[in-house]
Amino acid sequence: MDYFTKWPEAIPIPDQEASTVAEELVRSWISCYGVPMILRSDQGTNFNSALFTELCKLLGILKTRTTVLHPESNGMVERFNRTILNNLSLLVSRNQTDWDTHLLLFLLA
């Protein structure tokens, strides 16, 4: 989510491995909007990996992290995530395998 414009993006990915997250960051965000000056993330190991750290270093991105055990420090994103979960739960099928098909339509709402 861009903190200035508050523009959200939500990209379904098969896992949260550092390589997957880094690839999607480049493919889905940087290729569309350019390289961000600052990237704020939670304390996830995928964001603190050597691969992700090197990607940020190569692209000149200042990497910052939220405070440990204090998700409120990233409140705007946490609230958006809660909104996505609440609304998708109303749309997905019983076995919850089709959530990714509803995600992009939700972003248009």
Q: Are 56 and 89 in contact (CB under 8 A)?
A: no
Instruction: Give pLDDT tens digits for 85-106.
Output: 888 888 777 767 778 888 888 8
Residue 23 CA to residue 3 CA, distance in Å, equals 22
In angstroms, what is the C-alpha Rg of the chain?
A: 15
CA distances from 104 to 23, 30, 107 (A): 19, 18, 5
- Whether the full predicted model's pTM is greater than 0.75, yes or no, is yes
Residue 99 CA to residue 103 CA, distance in Å, equals 6
pLDDT confidence of residue 56: 96
Q: Are strands 38-41 and 62-65 parallel, antiparallel or unpaired?
A: parallel
Domain membership of residue 30 (yes or no) is yes
pLDDT confidence of residue 93: 73
Domain membership of residue 34 (yes or no) is yes
Tell me how many domains the chain contains. 1
What band does 52 get if pLDDT is binned at 50, 70 and 90?
very high
Domain membership of residue 74 (yes or no) is yes
Residue 59 pLDDT exceeds 90: yes
pLDDT confidence of residue 60: 97
- The enclosing domain of 98 has a CATH number of 3.30.420.10
In this structure, which amino acid lies at residue 105?
A: L
**Lowest-pLDDT range, 3-12, 32-41, 42-51, 65-74?**
65-74
Q: Are 1 and 80 in contact (CB under 8 A)?
A: yes
Domain membership of residue 3 (yes or no) is no
Instruction: Give pLDDT tens digits for 8-42.
Output: 889 999 999 999 999 999 999 999 999 999 999 98
Dump the DSSP string for 45-74: TTTTSHHHHHHHHHHTPEEEEPPTT-GGGG
Domain membership of residue 1 (yes or no) is no
Domain membership of residue 10 (yes or no) is no
Domain membership of residue 51 (yes or no) is yes
Residue 96 sits in which domain range? 18-108
Domain membership of residue 8 (yes or no) is no
